[in-house]
Structure 1
Amino acid sequence: MQEEISKIDIISEDDMSEFERREGLKSRLMEEEARRRGYEVKRLTFDTTLISIQGIVVLFKDMNGPLSSAALNTVVDDKHVTRTLLKAAGLAVPQSTYLPISKQEEIVSFAESISYPVVLKPNGLARGQGVFMNLSSKSELKEALSKLENIVDDNQTSVHVEKHFIGEDFRYVVVDGRVIATSQRARANVVGDGTHTVLELIEAKNKERLKDRDLKNFLIPTDIEKLTHLTREGRSLDTIPEPDEKVILRDESNISSGGEGIDFTDTVHPEFEKLALQAVKAIPGLNYAGVDMILEDITEAPTPENHVVTEVEFSPGPVSMFPWSGEVRDMPGPILDFYESNLDRLKPK
């Protein structure tokens, strides 16, 4: 059976586009771990590989294999469906509504009923695209709706409007009923030295990010229009922060928005880990995923008021493997362990 992986017709180097010649980081990390274990690997495209695990050929897209199905991907990528399943499982989720962009008056009415600030989210976009945070007034909400309509190019597209929950953003990575990593996804920021401007501090930090295998792809932007938190506080790129002053630049906490991961695996309260496991179980058939929560203090026990579960990620990024601070936490290893222990489910009948 091991030999069969080499018989598959792989796209020739000449036929592959420049994009396909590159390798997605998540699939590359899986490939490296598989080779470390002595498994044969063939790359098909940018993000797909064939890994022969103890003689059984398994197709992976990024870090997701056949026991993490395309159907589940569709379900989890639909924020509205996921939110419905999480709420039905008894998990705390943000107060929200789900309406077409065209129904602006209803959206505004809902926002006012739950009180500003609110968050506006498209249903199926990833990496924070089209997400507008901390909208504090009717005018800000309508402006965000107009921008979002331009992004999705359809005012009949439904969007989430939800209560802005004050807290920090955390990602739990769950594999086979176990939390293998917990990371804070800290918003893009710089720390002042009393001498350099915000722009100079961003440029210096980006030089450090360029040295990181993951963060080099997600530099902190220097476009002032994207630095919403900075401008809301009345600051500019020319501002010189005080020594050791931490300046938050953006409202979004995604790594792709210039954020950074901080490891909290050893300090997270175990009851929050249980909630992360419960969130994955709320999606029938899901074996591994990322669970996002916003909460006030990760070391304290959860209460109905101190956290919300915001999303479940089908193919979470490797935040835990490239933390800005804290211990590195493996992702592909536990996933390959899961497939090794479930090979009987993959054998041809």
Structure 2
Amino acid sequence: MSLIHQIDNFSSRIINWTPSITLPSKFDRLLGAFLTKFLLFSGLASWRSDFTDSDLNLRASCFISEARKKGWQLEVLRGPFGFTIYSRAKKNGKRVAFEGLPLTDLSDKYKAGFIDNKGKIKIILKKNDFPVAPGKLFWFWQIRAAVNYGRELDYPLVVKPSRGSGSEGVTTNIGNSSRLKKAVNVALRYGPTFIVEKYITEAFVHRATVVNFKFVACVKQVPANVVGDGVSTIRELIERKNRDKRRGEWGQRRFVLYKIVQNKTTIKLLADQNYNLDSVLSASKIIDLQRDPFLKLGGDLIEVTPRIHPDNLQLFRTVATFFAVRLVGIDFICPDISVSWRNQRCAILELNSLPFIELHHFPSTGASQNVARALVEALAKYY
């Protein structure tokens, strides 16, 4: 891990452990603009156009590639430790500066940082009759209260930090108070507050990304798995899948998919079905190798946009409109995305103001959805 990423990781932890202070979004933008000008004036940073894809994360690369196709010139702010997530686009005398992706600063109702607060968003969603999983936010000194609440809510449960992304600090399918206490301690590594909520069984987490209140793309997250061919052992199938050039080691910036992790959970899941790593799977037999669909464990992304039920499509657009965010990622759990949310057990788990659009560009299975192009079209409209 490079020095800049270590610093970014450390600073994120510090910010998460700082009590939330809601500042007016206008003040927030002015502060960001002031700091950028200070770094530029002091010579500690400069706008550069000589960056390569390897200097950027995939999210930025996807957007910049599409923006250039439409005639935009892109520059990225380079600081003392390398290129940052601050960019600016120029076209026909128009200049637009943004952090991460455009549109994230255009909400008239809530600032971006608020959208990412899982605890507060859960309360608002529930009050306004959006589907949510029963749950509650707790502070680090309320561990006993959280455990008691979990017992009342009944198992299985999920514990997660109230901020953050990428499944960091999340523990699912908790079945007893001992595991609940351990899960709380894991979540507290990422901030002073955490959420205890009901775990929805026999369902899949979907990431829907909404651009400009209308465009929607959606992928389904599934646990790491292999498909039998009637000849190869499970071990060989894992090795073959891990050789896919689209899969990297967890933490590498230029990948969406990661290599399958083999651990105690893998062995247990196989044993429960009378398999081991040297068993040969019959042709077309699918077997899960992890319980959780986390990408860091080798999970897959299945593109399901064409299968979204119209009611679910409208739900995602309504959420974006309600919070007045022109770009938002929505984590939605349900058994079947092709069935109306009104007719199945489901929940909106959280929102993300700076979504990983690359999930839609590089799924494991299915046709890529060009979220970046929708962003570029909105860029010309709103700036």
Question: Which bin holds the TM-score, normalised by the shorter protein?
Answer: 0.7 to 0.9
Identity value in percent? 21
Per-residue CA shift, 1:102-134, capped at 9, x if unaligned? 433322222222221100101112100000010
Instruction: Please name the residue that 2:224 is paired with.
Output: 188
Residue in structure 1 matched with residue 76 of structure 2 by the alignment: 43
Instruction: Give the direction of change, closer, same or farther, for the CA distance of 1:246–1:215 in structure 2 (3 Å limit).
Output: farther
SS at match of 1:266: helix
Task: Give the aligned partner of residue 280 of structure 1.
Answer: 320
Over 3 Å counting, the alpha-carbon distance change for 1:222 and 1:187 in structure 2 is closer
Return closer, same or farther for 1:163/1:68 CA change in 2, 3 Å cut-off.
same
Any idea what the Cα deviations from partners look like across 1:319-349, whole Å, max 9, x if unmatched?
A: 1111211111101111111121123xxxxxx
The answer to whether the aligner puts 1:340 opposite 2:376 as a matched pair is no
- The residue number in structure 1 matching 2:200 is 165
Question: Which stretches in structure 2 are left out of the alignment for 5+ residues?
Answer: 1-39, 78-82
Amino acid at match of 1:130: G
Equivalences for 1:71-82 in 2 at 5 Å? 72-82=111-121
Tell me if structure 2 keeps the 8 A contact 1:198–1:239: yes
User: What does the per-residue CA deviation read over 1:120-174, in whole Å, with 9 as the maximum and x for residues that have no partner?
Assistant: 101112100000010111222122223334x33x7xx221111001211111111
Taking a change above 3 Å as real, the CA distance of residues 54 and 332 of structure 1, as seen in their structure-2 partners, is farther
Residue 276 of structure 1: CA displacement?
0.8
Residue of structure 2 equivalent to 1:129: 168
Kept in 1, the 8 Å contact 2:184–2:194? The answer is: no
Cα offset for 1:61? 2.6
Q: 2:299 aligns with which of 259, 266, 270?
A: 259
Give the count of matched residue pairs: 330
Judged with a 3 Å threshold, the aligned counterparts in structure 2 of structure 1 residues 206 and 196 are, in CA distance, closer, same or farther, namely same
TM-score normalised to structure 2 length: 0.75
Structure 2: how far apart are the matches of 1:231 and 1:306? 28
The superposition leaves residues 177-236 of structure 1 with CA deviations (integer Å, 9 ceiling, x where unpaired) of: 113312112222222345544443333212115369988454234351575983794788
Shift of 1:39: 1.5
The offset of 1:69, in angstroms, is 6.4
> Is 2:68 the counterpart of 1:32?
no
Query: What TM-score, normalized to structure 1?
Result: 0.82
Secondary structure, counterpart of 1:309 in structure 2 = strand
Conserved? CA contact 1:64–1:315, under 8 Å: no
TM-superposed deviation, 1:13:
11
Where in structure 1 are there 5+ consecutive unaligned residues?
A: 1-6, 344-349
User: Structure 1 196/310 Cα, relative in aligned 2: closer, same or farther at 3 Å?
Assistant: same
Which whole-Å CA distance do the structure 1 matches of 2:97 and 2:222 have between them?
Answer: 33
Aligned twin of 2:20: none
Displacement of 1:89 in angstroms is 2.4
Cα distance change, pair 10–147 in 1 and its aligned pair in 2 (3 A):
closer
Task: In structure 2, give the amino acid aligned to 1:127.
Answer: G
Is 1:61 the counterpart of 2:99? The answer is yes
Distance 1:187 1:319 in 2: 15
Match of 2:258 among 188, 212, 219: 219
Q: Does residue 91 of the first structure (1) align with residue 130 of the second (2)?
A: yes
